Amino acid sequence: MTETEQRATRDQRARFEALARVVAEPLHRYLLRRAEPDQVDDVLAETLLVLWRRIEDVPGLATEHAPVLVPDPDAVLPWCYGVARGCLANARRADRRRRSLLERLTWTAAGSARETGDADHTALHTALAQLRPLDREIVQLWAYEELTPSRIAEVTGLSANAVSIRLHRAKKKLAARLERKTGPGAGHETGEGQGSEESGRSSR
């Protein structure tokens, strides 16, 4: 990195730090009033990352050719609120996609729609991770991007028939794993060992 590039990087960091000192707390309050509690920190971090990347676009902020001053909140906050609003919208869309995936796969598992809790998300991610990478990609394209097998075939290079077969098999595997994780007997030992033990006692 040349000296000029190093100076530009230092200037960018200084301007970002000056901006963050002014906007971080108001942005946190903004998100607390709008986001789910478990979303706030992640969305705030994403917002600050966007501000870092777009530091040149922030209105009312000192330029690289001017001294770094304490930004005027009235000048910079409206634009920063807009960035936070966009990041929150992205987070909500991602959350809806995850919930949609869970609901669609749970429907496959149970044969009917049912209420699901946060624990099911963990079970779903675990079940997805156990699929082969290509099968996992096919399921995610179907559930998240809502693509048809023919469109998935374009993405993966497979035939539409091969996609349909893989998708069907993958959903069956996920359904079985989700049933084991979230079904009535989830987290409990099966009765096989108990039955054997009782048989052993009765034969004594």
CA separation for the pair 130, 163 (Å, rounded)? 18
Of 14-18, 105-109, 124-128, 140-144, minimum mean pLDDT range: 105-109
pLDDT value at residue 85: 93
Q: Quick check: is 58 in a domain?
A: yes
CA separation for the pair 13, 16 (Å, rounded)? 5
In the chain, % of residues over pLDDT 70: 74
Q: Quick check: is 196 in a domain?
A: no
Which two tokens mark 3? Answer: 């000296």
Instruction: Report residue 51's pLDDT band, with 50, 70 and 90 as the boundaries.
Output: very high
CATH number at residue 176: 1.10.10.10
pLDDT, tens digit, for every residue of 63-98?
A: 555 555 788 988 899 899 999 999 999 998 888 877
Residues 24 and 85 in one domain: yes
Residues 88 and 169 in one domain: no
The listed range with the strongest mean pLDDT (10-24, 85-99, 190-204) is: 10-24
Instruction: Report residue 184's pLDDT band, with 50, 70 and 90 as the boundaries.
Output: low
Instruction: Report residue 166's pLDDT band, with 50, 70 and 90 as the boundaries.
Output: very high
Would you give the DSSP letter of residue 148? -
CATH number at residue 25: 1.10.1740
Please give the tally of structural domains in the chain. 2
Q: Quick check: is 125 in a domain?
A: yes
Instruction: Report residue 142's pLDDT band, with 50, 70 and 90 as the boundaries.
Output: confident
The percent of the chain in helix, strand and coil, each rounded to the nearest 5, is: 75, 0, 25
Q: Quick check: is 103 in a domain?
A: no
Domain that holds residue 71: 3-94
pTM: 0.53
